[in-house]
């Protein structure tokens, strides 16, 4: 009996030790991340972009990558890249533009309503050779603009509120004896039902966009070849620059089949792209 009790106590102590170690590690990691965040902001303010990037990348490594972290990381890469590289005499010589676009998109994936990130992303994309030869229709453009006004959780909350109001006004319509109240409650119930359907669709669309892991960004130092097949000796069909955004269709060994916005497909080295 004593042996069984001994093992039970030993297992309980082991479990408590593991839980304490995990809690302690989590607290230490959070403290370190907060310290690095403060140091990164101070370094950025002093235009020490190398240190700011190093600190912010470490925050991401610790698992505390938020929309603000990615946004400031993108800004730091972009600012560093704007300074002419002494060796080459050109901007973004070390792939800073690609990293800036990548992190702006990561910030927007977390918070699509982040207007500063979207504005800076547009500025960064202007420095690439990214082409959008298949423009969206007016309906698609309006839908995307509405969807990106809020996160999927925010749209879901709006959907629940609309449903509750619709049910409440429907109940009021059924119980009220006054014609004016019945007409008003009926109209409000219909409007709220339409709002419920629309916000639910927006929430689902935003969730699908956030969970889409096919989006990737070219992170090479300059331009990179896209081949007709997963073979470096095959025909080069395109040479996107750093910062160009594309979709990954599938992977094959060291290669990824990609799809550009204009519908053209090709194969690119997986090492020169990074998923958003």
Q: Where are the domains of the chain?
A: 24-125, 138-211, 215-275
Residue that has been written with the tokens 């907060």 in this structure = 34
Q: Residue-wise pLDDT tens for the chain (276 aa)?
A: 455 555 555 555 554 454 444 444 455 788 999 999 999 999 999 999 999 999 999 999 999 989 999 999 999 999 999 887 766 678 898 999 999 999 999 999 999 989 999 999 999 999 998 865 445 566 777 888 888 888 888 999 999 999 999 999 999 999 888 999 899 999 999 999 999 999 999 999 888 877 777 899 999 999 999 999 999 999 999 999 999 999 999 999 999 999 988 888 999 999 999 999
Q: At 227, list the tokens.
A: 């081949």
Taking the CA atoms of 148, 149, 151 and 156 in sequence, report the sign of the dihedral they define: negative
Q: Which fold has domain 215-275?
A: SH3 type barrels. (2.30.30)
Q: Is 33 exposed, middle or buried (0-12, 13-18, 19+ CB in 10 A)?
A: buried
Predicted structure pTM score: 0.76
Cα 276 to Cα 269: distance, rounded to the nearest angstrom: 16
User: What's the distance, Cα to Cα, between the start and end of the chain in Å?
Assistant: 57
Q: Is there a contact between 236 and 247 (Cβ–Cβ < 8 Å)?
A: no
Q: Which fold has domain 24-125?
A: 1.25.40
Q: Is there a contact between 58 and 36 (Cβ–Cβ < 8 Å)?
A: yes
234-252 residues labelled b (16+ CB within 10 A) or e (exposed):
eeeebebbbbbbbebeeee
């Amino acid at each position: 009996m004593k042996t069984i009790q001994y093992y039970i106590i030993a297992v309980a102590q082991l479990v408590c030790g593991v839980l304490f170690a995990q809690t302690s590690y989590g607290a230490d990691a959070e403290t370190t991340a907060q310290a690095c965040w403060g140091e990164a902001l101070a370094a950025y303010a002093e235009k020490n972009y190398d240190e700011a990037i190093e600190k912010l990348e470490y925050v991401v490594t610790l698992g505390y990558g938020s929309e603000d972290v990615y946004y400031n990381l993108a800004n730091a890469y972009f600012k560093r890249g704007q300074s002419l590289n002494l060796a080459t005499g050109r901007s973004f010589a070390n792939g800073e533009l690609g990293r800036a676009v990548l992190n702006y998109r990561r910030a927007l994936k977390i918070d699509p309503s982040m207007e500063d990130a979207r504005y800076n992303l547009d500025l960064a994309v202007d420095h690439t050779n990214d082409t959008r030869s298949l423009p969206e229709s007016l309906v698609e453009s309006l839908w995307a603009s509405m969807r990106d006004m809020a996160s999927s959780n925010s749209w879901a909350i709006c959907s629940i509120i609309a449903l509750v109001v619709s049910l409440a006004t429907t109940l009021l319509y059924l119980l009220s004896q006054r014609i004016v109240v019945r007409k008003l409650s009926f109209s409000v119930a219909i409007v709220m039902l339409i709002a419920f359907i629309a916000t639910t669709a927006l929430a689902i669309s935003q969730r699908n966009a956030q969970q889409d892991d096919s989006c990737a960004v070219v992170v090479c130092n300059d331009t990179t070849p896209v081949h007709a097949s997963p073979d470096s000796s095959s025909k080069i069909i395109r040479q996107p620059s750093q910062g160009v955004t594309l979709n990954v269709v599938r992977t094959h060994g060291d290669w990824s089949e990609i799809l550009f916005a204009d519908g053209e497909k090709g194969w690119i080295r997986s090492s020169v792209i990074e998923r958003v």
